[in-house]
Amino acid sequence: KNEVEQSPQNLTAQEGEFITINCSYSVGISALHWLQQHPGGGIVSLFMLSSGKKKHGRLIATINIQEKHSSLHITASHPRDSAVYICAVWASGSRLTFGEGTQLTVNP
Amino acid sequence: NAGVTQTPKFQVLKTGQSMTLQCAQDMNHEYMSWYRQDPGMGLRLIHYSVGAGITDQGEVPNGYNVSRSTTEDFPLRLLSAAPSQTSVYFCASGKDRQPQHFGDGTRLSIL
C-alpha cells in the first residue's frame, strides 16, 4: 500500500461542476502539498497546509490530521483546470512522498 | 522573475555517456531538490540540499551525484547513463525545507 493514495485516478467533469479530489495518507505528517501539473509538464504548487483549510480563487484545500485525509475542491470548474493534481506529504526529514496524481478533464 | 530554471529541456544520451542537468533559482531559497517522474510511479526524490555545501540522498540516489557550491545552483550529474534513467527530471526550490517552486522539467532519453 502506498503511503499516499489519491482518488479518483481519473475524473471527467462538465464546465461549471464542483470537483473534489481526495488524498489519504498512512503516516503522521507535518505538512501536505497540492500540486498541479499541466499537459505541458510544468508543476505548480497550489497549497501547502498543515491544518484546517486554505482558499485561493476557485480552489479550496482542506485537511483533517486525525483522519489522515485531505481534499482539493474546485468550484465552477473550467476547461483550463484540466491537469493532473498531485498530493504530497511531508512526513519527516526533508523529503516529500507523492501520490500518483488525479487526471482531471473538464469539458466545455 | 525567472524562478527555477532548468536546462536543457530535452536530451538524448547513449548508454554510458555522462551529463549534467542544470538547475538555478533566483529566489535565495536554501532548499533545493531533484525529482524524477516516471509513469505509474509519481515523483520520487533523488537528492536534496538544505543550503550551500550541504547535500543529502533522497529515495532514488543511485547513479546520480549532486553538489551545492552556491545558493543559486544545484546541478544533477549522471556519471554513466543507463536506460533505466530515462525519465522526466524536475528541480524545485523553497523555504523551510519545502519545495514550493518547480522548474519546467528535463525530458531525458537514454538509448
Give me the DSSP letters along A30-71: SEEEEEEE-TT--EEEEEEESSEEEEETTEEEEEETTTTEEE
Tell me the per-residue pLDDT of A8-62, one tens digit each, with 9 for 90 and over: 999 999 999 999 999 999 988 889 999 999 887 789 999 999 999 999 999 999 9
Q: Do B42 and A48 touch (CB under 8 A)?
A: no
Find the CB nearest A48 among B33, B59, B100: B100
Burial class (CB in 10 A: 0-12, 13-18, 19+), A27: exposed
What is the predicted pLDDT for the residue at B33? 95
- Whether the CB-CB separation of B105 and B9 falls below 8 Å is answered with yes
pLDDT band at A1 (very low <50, low <70, confident <90, very high): low
Low-confidence ranges of chain B (pLDDT < 70): 1
Interface test with B, best of A3, A4, A38, A43 (most B CBs within 10 A): A43
What is the predicted pLDDT for the residue at B52? 94
pLDDT band at A102 (very low <50, low <70, confident <90, very high): very high
What is the predicted pLDDT for the residue at A93? 65
- Which residues of chain B have a CB within 8 Å of the CB of A96? 43, 45, 98-99
The nearest CA of chain A is from the CA of B81 a distance in Å of 23
Which residue matches cell numbers 470548474?
A: A77
pLDDT of A94 above 80:
no
Q: Do A45 and B101 touch (CB under 8 A)?
A: yes
Closest residue by Cα to residue A65 from A55, A79, A52: A52
Instruction: Tell whether the torsion through CA atoms of A25, A5, A8 and A40 is positive or negative.
Output: positive
Q: Is B89 helix (H, G, I), strand (E, B) or coil?
A: strand
Which residue matches cell numbers 484540466?
A: A82
Cβ of residue A31 closer than 8 Å to a chain B Cβ: yes
Query: Dmax over Cα atoms in chain B, in whole Å?
Result: 38
Q: Do A43 and B42 touch (CB under 8 A)?
A: no
